[in-house]
Structure 1
Amino acid sequence: MKILQVFNQYRFRGGEEAWVDGIPDLLASSATVDELRFRTDDWIEGAGPSPLKQVFLMADNPDSRAQLRAHARRFAPDVLLFHNVIPVGSFGLYQEARGLGIPVMQYTHNFRPFSPGGTLWTGTKVNDAALHGNPLPEIISGAWQDSRLKTAVLSLHLKLAISRGLLDCVDRWIAPSRFMKDKFMEAGIPAGKIELLRHCWDAGQEPLVGNEKPYYLYLGRLVSEKGVLNLVEAWEILEDKLGPRCPGLVIAGTGPEERHLLERAGRLKNVRCVGFVGGTEKQDLLNRCRALLVPSIWWEPLGLTAYEAYAAGRPVIGARSGALTETIADGVTGWSHSPGDPADLARVIIAAEDAGAAVRAARGQAGRQWLKEQAGPGEWRDHFLRICEEIVAETDGRRHEASPGHAVRPKDKLTVTTYLADQNPGHDRSFGISRMSQVVLEALQKNDELDITTIASRTSQQAPENVNSIRILPWGTRKKWVRLLTDHFHPLFNRIRTEPDIYYYPKGYLPLLSPFCSPSVVTIHDTIIQYDKDRYPEWRRPWEYRYWTIMLKHTLKSADCILTVSESSKTQISEFMKRHQIPAKEISVTYEPCLYEEVPQPLSPAKGNYVIHLASCEPHKRTAQLIRWWKEAESQGMELPMLHLIGPLPPEASHLLDDSRTIIKRPFLEDDALQAAYLGARALILPSEIEGFGLPALEAYYLGTPVCFVSGTSVEEILGVTTHKGAFSLDSRASLFTALDEVMSMTADEIRDCGLKLRKAYATDAVVEKMVTAFRRYRTS
């Protein structure tokens, strides 16, 4: 059996690393063990990637995955044995393992992947909410690296990793205690995938008897959850109660609490901190102590230092915490005390002192006997290799089931994953884009060359009913910060499953994790964010402009294929790229289809005496200017139709409606009501000074309504295939009303003819054919 052990070393050495170090020797007679190690310090000691880059690499580190591939090619392991993999190793190692087809065993040295801190520790106590899907208590306490932000980021990574199928990638979870097995089952791991396999320890030669010295020993990392501060408090009580009879305390180890312990220990007579110890120095301390102390407050998965004490024939005084209740038999192999209670710990120390050396020696020998009976290396090795053989056989079975004879998808069929969670109609700038996305996806799905998968949130644009695969994130994305996090981390959802041939982003922004969603095709509709930043800097907050400009630049640099919706938009994008010194790329114009293509072109729809405007608070839409012009014309006695404003109004324009006789404010309309408004209107007014396409212009003509629009915009380009009527200048109020009279004078036959020509020019099939051509060009090799 060939086993490749994968481990990301912690900053401070502890029991997990000691166990990892010992596995090759334990298996030496029956298996070959190779190792792939990563070091957390590599990211901390100055030479590592930037903190921002670390955030993303922790989710999926291509370098670490490459190292795993290289080791697998060289060593050809039968089994991958995973321990800790973050931050440098990354969760991407699980996907890489699945891609390599090698079965995975995962040791449960702590409570990850459910607990971001790994210990369920929230600063002062254990909180197991993370086992049930709620990491918030650990986030609030900054459980990982004393940082709320880092803990929040890791929590998100963990949730995404689980959603991606991380738990499915592990063939067996190895629990070192009954307690850990129960907790992982409680968290949702099937009982059949968790194997109880206690750590073993070679008891070695019989220890010398009667050589104890007057001190108790703590051996481990100096962190609060280990109860090290309680040790000092207990000795403060002991020195007060016992005076000169107080035994000594030796604290051996390093960690975040070291400086604090040194300060407090310096005020006590009988406490000595000796730092990290190993080898003969460590063994000598164990051989001569009266008992080993394990005062952990968190739920210890096993308590490996207790094994070391038993091997040396020393009893253990430990907290009734986690698996320590399985490792320490109160009154037999040691003494137990209440976790987190210095007074009770002091009481137990006094009891151990009063019991005398003979009792302490007897309990140490009982622990040694337990170690021989319950945790022998031979039994552990046989059990471990049996698990390896089982998962190798299971993997071979899966390979047989997935043989070429069982292939489902034709080799030349494209799989396309489309991201929709960034589209929240009515809550951001995505209403028109969402309508376009719906039409495009329905048409793409009908294409026999494609399989479509969509990723949406509970509140975002949803996939059409006939899409092959729909993934709904279990949260909404209307809140900005939730959407931004989802936008950038969503590529991780697909990292475990089969990769699609194409990642498609219809709203036009790639995530920062774009290297993990390649090849990517984007439809960039416009560069209005830059336009507004130049002309309306007060419209958005500076950070919003900076963020969206950065994202557009990132997308244009990173996308494999750029699509856009008009020649006008193509010009905007090219100018943006030149301005920001982005290397030129090919930009393909596909145009946009219209949602109303399936609605028959009206013959002569009945018209009311009103026109409509799709109102907006965005300054470039010029809603406020239209209202002012309308009020001025009204005050001058001009004969006007009613103006229906559909949607939100700019705050500075709302009061203008108070005394208007011809302007009506209407709310945001659902599609049926919007169609009715189009059908009954004499015209649609689009005073926007910049558009990427101008989809409402098509919608209006498709439903028998002519359009007034600003000359020189993309709307003029789009409608120019059939008519130039309706163009006006934003510099002239008179030109608007001239254009309005012009289109309201168009006959029903003329409007119908325009609608039919536009339907032919921007037919969905033609748009989709251009997109499929682009998909095929950039598909995964």
Structure 2
Amino acid sequence: MTLIVLNGGQNYYIRGGSDQYQFALTELLHQHEHQVIPFASIDSKNRPTKWSKYFPPGVNFDNPGVADLISFIYSRQAAKAIKRLCREQPIDLAHLHIYYGQLTSSILSPLKQAGIPIVQTLHEYKIVCPVYSLRSGNEICQACNGSAFWQATVKRCNRGSIARSLLSTIESYASHLLGAVDKVDRFIAVSDFQRNKLVELGIPSDKISTVHNFIDLGGIEVSQQPGEYFLYFGRLERYKGIFTLIEAASTLMDIPLLIVGDGTDRREVEDAIEEKNLKHIKLLGFKQKQELDKLIAGSICTIAPSEWYETFGLTLIESLARGKSVIASRIGGMTEIITDGIDGWQIEPGNADELREKMLWMSDNRDRALIMGMAGRKKVEHKFNAESHYQKLMQIYQKVL
């Protein structure tokens, strides 16, 4: 069976894990001779594609006007663009990702009117949480359970701002009214933890399946280096545990910590490093894949100290695939990747002392850390490989076609 799949999300460039998966999925489907049509909003950072003629304008978040705020909730231009695409191109199935805030739920009705089945991979919790993370301030929060999205405004969940939180609340109610749940034929969770949490918070259990993320192992070399530094790569956000990591590493002056990535808390991260004069902690910014691969290969281990309900943890399997063990928080979907003491260590989220203890163990036992990394590589080969992912995906596609 050869399919024409619409692969749709906010961006057509890699900003985060969902975008990374979207491009990996495109390549995987191409390898199996399916045709893939991307659909995203216009952005100067987008990769070139012949399909960009169908892309609608994006929402301006730098200096938004009234029209931008309306388009954040319902994009008439996105609805018009998807109608044109469905009219001019044959499409068997739409596989959506994160579309909120740019494409918006306005794209759902045109797809259904064209008779196109919709599958959506849920990379976070936006469908049950206006701010997507199940966090309010620095605390895990499930107050919006049962579509009580007004709680996000009361609790000022969007960066402590009533205005931002109100907009997020309105967007969530609008998305549900436009069919964010009802018009999607099948949801895909990226971990059992995420699936169970979404069902607990109101997603029908018969509409959602788990398909773990994958990594294409082709061309990925296993590192045999014991490593010279610790590595964090990911977004610089408080909920990712970055400040807990800095606290844990602050007394490990003889072992460098390299931090790769960017995010809204970058300035605070820079200040935290500078205030304590932590010269052994280096903030490297965003790195392209080839550079990042070398940094992973040269690390003692990588660290994922997250403090929110991670839906999966792509950085974990990227590390394990290269033979590097991981210290990861015992939270969310990451517990389905790391087996404590076998291919890494699990720590209590937010516990800097326990994290420091495991970092010291990894540094003092670098040969053991390599053995753990090799165990992780074997796990990825068995559990998170591309072919297994493809077969599970095809089973879901066939159910909705």
TM-score w.r.t. length of structure 2: 0.90
Q: Distance in 1 between matches of 2:222 and 2:215?
A: 18
Could you tell me how far 1:10 is from its partner in structure 2?
9.7
Higher deviation after alignment, 290-299 or 162-171: 162-171
1:315 matched residue in structure 2: 325
Could you tell me how far 1:11 is from its partner in structure 2?
10
1:96 matched residue in structure 2: 110
Q: Distance in 2 between matches of 1:209 and 1:102?
A: 44
Sequence identity (%): 24
1:370 matched residue in structure 2: 379
- 1:34 matched to 2:37: yes
Any idea what the Cα deviations from partners look like across 1:223-279, whole Å, max 9, x if unmatched? 11111111111112434xxxxxx3111000011111111122231021000000012
Any idea what the Cα deviations from partners look like across 1:448-496, whole Å, max 9, x if unmatched? xxxxxxxxxxxxxxxxxxxxxxxxxxxxxxxxxxxxxxxxxxxxxxxxx
Q: Secondary structure at the match of 2:7?
A: strand
2:60 matched residue in structure 1: 44
1:8 matched residue in structure 2: 10
Q: 1:200 to 1:57 in 2, by over 3 A?
A: same
* Residue identity opposite 1:274 in structure 2: L
2:207 matched residue in structure 1: 193
Could you tell me how far 1:6 is from its partner in structure 2?
1.1
Any idea what the Cα deviations from partners look like across 1:176-225, whole Å, max 9, x if unmatched? 11001101111222222111111111233573554233211111111111
Any idea what the Cα deviations from partners look like across 1:128-149, whole Å, max 9, x if unmatched? 2223433455435544466331
Q: Distance in 2 between matches of 1:279 and 1:339?
A: 28
Could you tell me how far 1:5 is from its partner in structure 2?
1.0
1:314 touches 1:367 (CA, 8 Å); kept in 2?
yes
Could you tell me how far 1:58 is from its partner in structure 2?
2.3
Any idea what the Cα deviations from partners look like across 1:497-549, whole Å, max 9, x if unmatched? xxxxxxxxxxxxxxxxxxxxxxxxxxxxxxxxxxxxxxxxxxxxxxxxxxxxx
* Residue identity opposite 1:32 in structure 2: Q
1:229 matched residue in structure 2: 243
- 1:361 matched to 2:370: yes
Q: Distance in 1 between matches of 2:18 and 2:172?
A: 20
Q: 1:12 to 1:371 in 2, by over 3 A?
A: closer
Q: Distance in 1 between matches of 2:79 and 2:110?
A: 6
After TM superposition, the structure 1 = structure 2 runs for residues 298-697 of structure 1, keeping only pairs within 5 Å, are 298-354=308-364, 356-392=365-401
Q: Secondary structure at the match of 2:108?
A: helix
1:260 matched residue in structure 2: 268
Q: Secondary structure at the match of 2:5?
A: strand
Could you tell me how far 1:318 is from its partner in structure 2?
0.4
Q: 1:230 to 1:12 in 2, by over 3 A?
A: farther
Q: Secondary structure at the match of 2:354?
A: helix
Q: Distance in 2 between matches of 1:205 and 1:40?
A: 30
Q: Distance in 2 between matches of 1:38 and 1:325?
A: 34
Q: Distance in 2 between matches of 1:200 and 1:255?
A: 24
Q: Secondary structure at the match of 2:167?
A: helix
Higher deviation after alignment, 207-216 or 340-349: 207-216
- Larger relative CO (CA 8 A, sep 6+): 1 or 2? 2
1:295 matched residue in structure 2: 305
Segments of 5+ residues of structure 1 without an aligned counterpart are 240-245, 393-781
Higher deviation after alignment, 58-67 or 157-166: 157-166
2:242 touches 2:305 (CA, 8 Å); kept in 1?
yes
Q: Distance in 1 between matches of 2:190 and 2:222?
A: 29
Q: 1:121 to 1:106 in 2, by over 3 A?
A: same
Q: Secondary structure at the match of 2:182?
A: helix
Q: Secondary structure at the match of 2:9?
A: strand
1:272 matched residue in structure 2: 282
User: In structure 1, which of residues 49, 53, 56 is the aligned counterpart of residue 67 of structure 2?
Assistant: 53
Q: Distance in 2 between matches of 1:195 and 1:55?
A: 33
Q: Distance in 2 between matches of 1:56 and 1:64?
A: 12
Q: 1:39 to 1:340 in 2, by over 3 A?
A: farther
TM-score w.r.t. length of structure 1: 0.47
1:218 matched residue in structure 2: 232
* Number of residues of Structure 1 aligned to a counterpart in Structure 2: 383
- 1:178 matched to 2:192: yes
- 1:153 matched to 2:154: no
Q: Distance in 2 between matches of 1:70 and 1:229?
A: 47
2:105 touches 2:179 (CA, 8 Å); kept in 1?
no
Q: Distance in 1 between matches of 2:320 and 2:328?
A: 13
Q: Distance in 1 between matches of 2:10 and 2:160?
A: 19
Q: Distance in 1 between matches of 2:163 and 2:104?
A: 18
Q: Distance in 2 between matches of 1:178 and 1:328?
A: 14
Q: 1:198 to 1:186 in 2, by over 3 A?
A: same
Q: Distance in 2 between matches of 1:387 and 1:208?
A: 32
Q: Secondary structure at the match of 1:81?
A: strand
Q: Distance in 2 between matches of 1:103 and 1:252?
A: 39
* Residue identity opposite 2:7 in structure 1: Q
Q: Secondary structure at the match of 2:31?
A: coil
| Larger radius of gyration between Structure 1 and Structure 2 | 1
2:50 matched residue in structure 1: none
Q: 1:97 to 1:37 in 2, by over 3 A?
A: same
Q: 1:129 to 1:65 in 2, by over 3 A?
A: same
* Residue identity opposite 2:28 in structure 1: L
2:105 touches 2:175 (CA, 8 Å); kept in 1?
yes
1:606 matched residue in structure 2: none
